[in-house]
Amino acid sequence: MPPGATVADAGEFGLISRMVDLFEMGEHVLVGPGDDAALLRIRKGHVVVSTDLMVEGRHFRREWCDGADVGRRAAAQNISDVNAMGGRAHSLTVGLAAPADLPLAWALDLARGFAEECRLVGASIVGGDVTRADQVVVSVTVLGTCTVAPVLRSGARPGDVLALAGRQGWAAAGLAVLGRGFRSPRAVVEAYRHPEPPYEAGPAAAEGGATALIDVSDGLLAEAGHLAEASEVAIDVRTADLDVAEPVAAVGAALGSDPLQLVLSGGDDHALLATFPPGVGLPEGFHAIGTVAEGSGVTVDGGAWEGAPGWTHF
């Protein structure tokens, strides 16, 4: 295709063919893209399935992220959902809706970003669909396997320890500076564009006896609230045990706001929030940040938090 070609120039099947050429198929893929459906060989255990959407203007802007960034973010948020069940992702399907004048290079970069992120966990993109729309929409379904009992949100018990794995507040800091037209600190902008979920922490938590587990996609306090509600317990978060990284603190200072707000309510880093029985050694990567007790709701340092708990979609 000539430089500057669009997805319309490539056509539906030309676009699909070019994207599929960028994807690697794992040994579990018996039939990949090209048939009516994929056919997979599933190992023993529980099958885990999740679906997420990314909508241009709502979840990303093309002036902030290139195609590869969007691909990596979309893959990461879906793989992280399987991670949050204590499982490992192995297959994804991707739906892409896009304007006819979307540059072909952007769409192929999107595919490359997907492939790069999937390679981190050995997952394959086994199918999908493309169609025309007024804006870019990416829909992903991920499948994975839990070889031990899946860890749900509803298992936390009074007396448990609340623990966190992965960095928190970095992507929110990056979004904050991008939203104000800046590109620094570069570390947080890259954290927004390329999240680094702790992919090994989910299975480690399941094998280590976690009683409840959730992916922090919409804010630490918001996700703690989901755990508390599902488990019918009260959760208290200790701010002294939260890491406010220097780049996150720098963004807070520049914006004249408390950087702790970014850590407590920021999403898109896809850290894991878990509860463990008291006296159990925490798996590598987890550190205690709070407690579980009888009651309901979420408190911070024993009291109500006045700020926003996280992202809301409506």
67, 109 in Cβ contact below 8 A?
Answer: yes
Residue 134, marked binder: no
To the question of whether residue 101 is assigned a binding role by annotation, the answer is no
Is 57 marked as a binding-site residue? no
Q: 51: annotated binding-site residue?
A: yes
Is 170 annotated to bind a ligand? Reply is no
Is 153 annotated to bind ligand? yes
For residue 269, say whether it is annotated as part of any ligand binding site: no
Q: Is 287 annotated as a binding residue?
A: no
Tell me: is residue 9 an annotated ligand-binding position.
no
User: 131: annotated binding-site residue?
Assistant: no
CB atoms within 10 A of CB 85: 27
**126, 26 Cβ separation under 8 angstroms:** no
> Quick check: 162 and 214 in contact, CB under 8 A?
no
Q: In 3D, which of 169, 143, 140, 170 has the Cα closest to residue 71?
A: 140
* 59 labeled part of a ligand binding site: yes
- Residues 6 or more apart whose CB falls under 8 angstroms from that of 3 comprise none
- For the stretch 21-24, contacts whose Cβ atoms lie closer than 8 Å and that sit 24 or more positions apart, written own/partner, are 22/108, 22/111, 22/112, 22/115, 23/111, 23/114, 23/115, 23/118, 23/124, 23/125, 24/115, 24/119, 24/124
Q: Flag whether 218 is marked binding.
A: yes
* Residue appearing with tokens 């990416």: 138
Measured torsion, CA atoms of residues 218, 220, 226, 229, in degrees rounded to the nearest 10: -150
Residue 36 annotated in ligand binding:
yes
258 is in an annotated binding site: no
Instruction: Pick out the residues of the known binding site for substrate.
Output: 59, 268, 311
Instruction: Pick out the residues of the known binding site for ATP.
Output: 128-129, 153, 217
Instruction: Pick out the residues of the known binding site for Mg(2+).
Output: 36, 50-52, 81, 129, 215, 218
Instruction: Pick out the residues of the known binding site.
Output: 36, 50-52, 59, 81, 128-129, 153, 215, 217-218, 268, 311
